Amino acid sequence: MPTIQRFGSVTIRMYPGDHRPPHFHIVGPDFQIVIGIADLAILAGEARLGQIAPALSWAEKNIDLLFEMWDKLSERGQIIMNTAPLPRISEVSASKSGLVLRVCWQGLGESSVDIGEPVRTYRLYRPLRDNPALFARAHVGEYGTDVVWEDGIDMAADLLWRLAAQQGTVPAQFASGSDKQP
């Protein structure tokens, strides 16, 4: 579900259960940024204006739609965003039992991440609950910013990082920082 709009190789994405404040991601081949919906300010990541101008122009014209989508996809809890670079995934594989992914972070090591909670919570993940063969076909999404399954099902890298931190499985050099991203 997360791809909302595409501009060539650049996409606007929103992920279920993502942290506050209300925001969306603009993802390209060599960048990933988080943009606040209310003021279209960059909350995290880096990109050149030329890379994101069409996406920002579209977002400015569609703020009501973005807020509506945020309300449908977001949790109501407050999670504070930090401004560290966003993690990217280089490799992923599904465990043979349970809803656990082995995630290799680009240049950072690997984590075992139990995604049972979001999979049981959000309707869009129901096929993963009901079909172990589908879950087993997890693969790295475009640019390493998410894990993808068939039928448009995917999960953001930053959500997986947060889950790994909560579960104590982030790579050792980040373990003391809890949910702080690299």
For 89-177, the fitting CATH number among 3.30.70.100, 3.30.2020.10, 3.40.190.10, 3.40.50.150 is 3.30.2020.10
Rounded average pLDDT per 10-residue block, the chain, 182 residues? 79 78 87 88 86 92 87 55 67 91 87 89 84 93 87 84 84 52 50
Query: Percent helix, strand and coil across the chain, each rounded to 5?
Result: 35, 25, 40
CA dihedral of residues 94, 96, 170, 4 (deg, nearest 10): 30
Amino acid occupying residue 78: Q
How far is the C-alpha of 70 from the C-alpha of 90, rounded, in Å?
A: 27
End-to-end CA separation in angstroms for the chain: 26
How far is the C-alpha of 130 from the C-alpha of 96, rounded, in Å?
A: 14
- Model pTM score: 0.56
Q: 143-161 in b/e burial notation, b at 16+ Cβ within 10 A? A: bbbbbbbeeebbbbbbbbb
Q: What are residue 155's phi and psi, to 5 degrees? A: -140, 130
The radius of gyration of the chain's CA atoms, rounded to the nearest angstrom, is 16
Note the pLDDT of residue 135.
Answer: 93
Break the chain into its structural domains and give their ranges.
3-73, 89-177
Note the pLDDT of residue 172.
Answer: 60
